[in-house]
Amino acid sequence: MQFQVPQFIETESKIVGPFTLRQFIYVVIGGGLCFLVLYIFNFFFAVIFIGIIGTATATLAFIKVNGRPIASILTSAISYYWNPRLYLWQKQTLKQTEPSIKIPPTQHVDPSAIRQKLALGSNLRNLWDKITASRARLPKRETMPPQRTGREKVEVIGLSTGEREAAKRIDYK
């Protein structure tokens, strides 16, 4: 069974002539405001206000920026400037009668114990330096790597994309 999938679902339907419902509402409101201004103000001032209202109406009804109508961009801009942009996290503390962590009183520290800890740390540091920086093997811990018996050479390989790449070839015998 075949089904028709609707296309162009993001385009608005033309309801009143060449206008969508949204555009028609903007034009009617703008025309009504222009009609009111013409009868309220002097002709000179009315022409100025009618020009401003007509421009605003045409902008709201017909202009889109990046596929979005100007009205949605204006509402987003107003909400951005109106709403606070600084978010602070405030920790909500529970009221407790006594602290859950008790700090022990300070104790006297023996300087000889500190020296022993430092000496142990320096011994470990020396061992670590030997492991990481020495080329000599540590007794009873490491074995020598096996010696390669093959011949090594570098070859240039052509890839299927047309690029050339260097690769190491080892022949073991």
Domain ranges of the chain: 14-82
Rounded-to-10 torsion of CA 91, 95, 98, 103 = 0
pLDDT reported for residue 35: 94
For residue 118, the Cα-to-chain-centroid distance in whole angstroms is 46
R_g of the chain, CA atoms, integer Å: 41
Enumerate residue ranges in the chain where pLDDT < 50: none
Closest to 15 (Cα-Cα) out of 23, 4, 5, 6: 23
pLDDT reported for residue 30: 96
pLDDT reported for residue 24: 93
pTM of the model: 0.45
pLDDT reported for residue 168: 75
In this predicted model, what pLDDT tens digit does every residue of 111-121 receive, in sequence order?
A: 666 666 656 56
Q: Which two tokens stand for residue 66?
A: 């990046």
Residue 77: half-sphere exposure toward Cβ, Cα within 13 Å: 7
